[in-house]
């Protein structure tokens, strides 16, 4: 609890994982909805293709964005470890 209150333990990576799954659900719902709208008479096949793109490319884009955010926090953890290692070597 002390690490949490002193900001030594990051909670943002956990929040990023939650946002990842929310993003996936949103992409799937948007893709299925767009495909359903594209099947209705009066809409062209382009709408169906856009829905398929949402289903395929949406989750990939969300994953890449979340991985970039996680990498930033991994860099922070690694730099903290290096700092602690160097401090122990000086003693």
- 3-class DSSP assignment, residue 38: helix
Q: What percent of the chain has pLDDT over 90?
A: 60
Minimal CA–CA distance to 77: which of 2, 7, 16?
A: 7
**Inside any domain, residue 3:** no
Full residue range of the structural domain in which residue 27 is found:
16-90
**Inside any domain, residue 67:** yes
**Inside any domain, residue 72:** yes
Q: Is residue 7 predicted with pLDDT exceeding 90?
A: no
Q: What total number of domains does the chain contain?
A: 1
Q: What is the pLDDT of residues 16-48, one digit of tens each?
A: 999 999 999 999 999 999 999 988 888 788 999
- Write down the pTM of the prediction: 0.76
Which is higher by pLDDT, 77 or 17? Answer: 17
**Inside any domain, residue 61:** yes
Q: Is residue 66 predicted with pLDDT exceeding 80?
A: yes
Instruction: Give the model's pLDDT for residue 41.
Output: 83
């Amino acid at each position: 609890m002390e690490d949490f209150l002193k900001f030594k333990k990051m909670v943002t990576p956990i929040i990023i994982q939650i946002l990842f799954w929310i993003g996936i659900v949103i992409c799937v719902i948007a893709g299925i909805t767009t495909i359903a709208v594209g099947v209705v008479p009066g809409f062209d096949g382009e709408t169906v293709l856009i829905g398929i793109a949402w289903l395929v490319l949406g989750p990939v884009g969300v994953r890449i964005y979340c991985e970039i955010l996680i990498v930033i926090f991994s860099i922070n953890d690694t730099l903290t470890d290096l700092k602690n290692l160097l401090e122990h070597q000086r003693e």
